[in-house]
Amino acid sequence: MRRKKRRGIYLFGILLVVLGVGGYYLYTSQTFERNAPKIEIADEIFWSLKQPLKLVLEDDTGIKEYKVIMSDGKSKETVDLAKLANPQKRIELSIKPPAGLELEGDRALLEIEVRDKSLWNYFLGNSAKKLVHIHIDRKKPDLYIVTNSYGIRKGGSALVIFHCQDKNLKEFFIKTNFGKKFQAQPFFKDGYYIALIAWPITQERFRADIVAYDKAGNRSKAYIPLYLKQKRYRISKITLKDSFLQGKIETLAQEYPETANMTPIQKFKFVNETLRERNEKLIHELASKVSQARIDDFPITPFYPLKNAAVVASFGDHRYYYYKGKLVSESYHMGLDLASVRQAPVKLGNDGEVVYADFNGIYGNMPLIDHGLGLYTLYAHCSTLYVKKGDEVAKGETIAKTGSTGLALGDHLHFGVLVQGIEVRPEEWMDRKWIKDNVTQVIKDAKKIIDSK
């Protein structure tokens, strides 16, 4: 009797082990995997019906079957259905409008059901369901140009005002042939926008189109009809002197440890190319920002930063540097150099906000001012700065004194103007007639047109 009892306990122990091992196998085995399939598509989408809807199904063990149904509130249509002999871990579907549904309204519903090959859930497998609400939108954004500057000169600026509206508007921008996307600012009344644009001196051609997309992918495009004016810029060949390399270049290079073992020419290349690129990247990033606050006007006036000044270097000068007869480097001069007397006061031409006021490599001590609408002015090589980042500054205010900091041989002011991060001809923004013809009058004309609608 006792032997039978021990034998029963022994068998029961074996049974517990078998059940434990089996349970562990069921718990960890991929065959009895318990994770539901994943359905990758947004809960709410916008659809123009022109392009197929993209849908992804994923499962760790493999998808055994799926069904996709579309309904328009009146009837349903199966748009995709499959039972797979060889289950797949990832399935990508392209859902087209079903022929059996008219989809004349602006709403539809997508029902998705998926089951995997797992033996979990009494051998039925794991399942997943999802409902996707579809907003049907076949209409392109309403886009047209109200008015714009007559023309644009290579290296110069222009203004455009346009209307862009759509109940499902996603994004719009001004696309150029050289990759730059200019942003627009809300203007005057709802649905209207204004933007300054620029033609970089390094680009031989110029084209700009306003492009708008809605959430369903519908696109509208409007070409900005500007008369293109070519301009030749100066080309200079400059011979480097040892006194310059051992003086100004050596002084600047000493601030950067990576130049410690460089030759004088290598240091010049570092300053003129590497450091210049680094300094200009900072300027471009800061000067690329455009406010999204609505403006009703842009009362800009000519800039005269230095009283009784002479122009000592022009904008757009393409400079080639030679040493002992060999070309060693090149760069563009992206501002207008003005000189009068030492430590001359630098006056602000228009109200603005200081976005930078510090030392910036080859530019030396440099305030950068935001005047709104993506227009920025830069004042380089200053000896003394009277402003700091975040200051609101007024027209006529003295913001600095001229000097020779950075890559400057003598006391002068490097005056730069940027439109959304692109350097443009300062001369245009110093010309009262150009500003009237290309900016302020264009704005006045646009407001009259908008008011007449």
Beta bridge partner(s), residue 55: 93
**Average pLDDT of the chain, as a whole number:** 93
pLDDT at 418: 99
**pLDDT by residue (tens digit) across 159-201?**
999 999 999 999 999 999 999 999 999 999 999 999 999 999 9
Which has the closest alpha carbon to 373: 410, 332, 325, 424? 424
Sequential DSSP letters for 122-134: TTT--EEEEEEEE
In the chain, which segments carry CATH 2.60.40.730?
32-136
Tell me the pTM. 0.88
Helix (H) or strand (E) holding 68: strand 53-71
**pLDDT by residue (tens digit) across 57-107?**
999 999 999 999 999 888 899 999 999 999 999 999 999 988 878 787 889
Beta bridge partner(s), residue 148: 160
**pLDDT by residue (tens digit) across 1-12?**
555 556 655 555
Q: Two tokens at 346?
A: 């630098």
pLDDT at 73: 80
Lowest-confidence region among 65-69, 119-123, 316-320, 447-451 = 119-123
**Residue 20 pLDDT greater than 60, yes or no:** no
In the chain, which segments carry CATH 2.70.70.10?
235-420
In the chain, which segments carry CATH 2.60.40.10?
142-230+443-451
CATH topology of domain 235-420: Glucose Permease (Domain IIA) (2.70.70)
Calculate the alpha carbon distances from 347 to 25, 183, 375, 378, 396 in Å. Answer: 81, 29, 17, 12, 5
For residues 3-18, one letter each, b for 16 or more C-beta atoms within 10 angstroms of the residue's C-beta and e for the rest, the string is eeeeeeeeeeeeeeee
Q: Residue type for 47, please?
A: W
Largest Cα separation within the chain, whole Å, is 123
Q: For tokens 């799926």, name the residue.
A: 66
Could you give the CA distance from residue 402 to residue 369 in angstroms, rounded to a whole number?
A: 16
CATH topology of domain 142-230+443-451: Immunoglobulin-like (2.60.40)
Q: Are the CB atoms for 344 and 306 separated by under 8 Å?
A: yes
Which has the closest alpha carbon to 105: 60, 137, 58, 141? 137
pLDDT at 117: 85
Question: For residue 445, how many other CB atoms are within 10 A of its CB?
Answer: 14
Tally of CA atoms within 13 A in the half-sphere of 329 that contains its CB: 18
**Residue 229 pLDDT greater than 50, yes or no:** yes
pLDDT at 13: 56
**pLDDT by residue (tens digit) across 239-298?**
999 999 999 999 999 999 999 999 999 999 999 999 999 999 999 999 999 999 999 999
Per-residue pLDDT band for 21 (boundaries 50, 70, 90) equals very low
Q: What is the CATH number of domain 32-136?
A: 2.60.40.730
pLDDT at 102: 78
Size (the chain), residues: 453
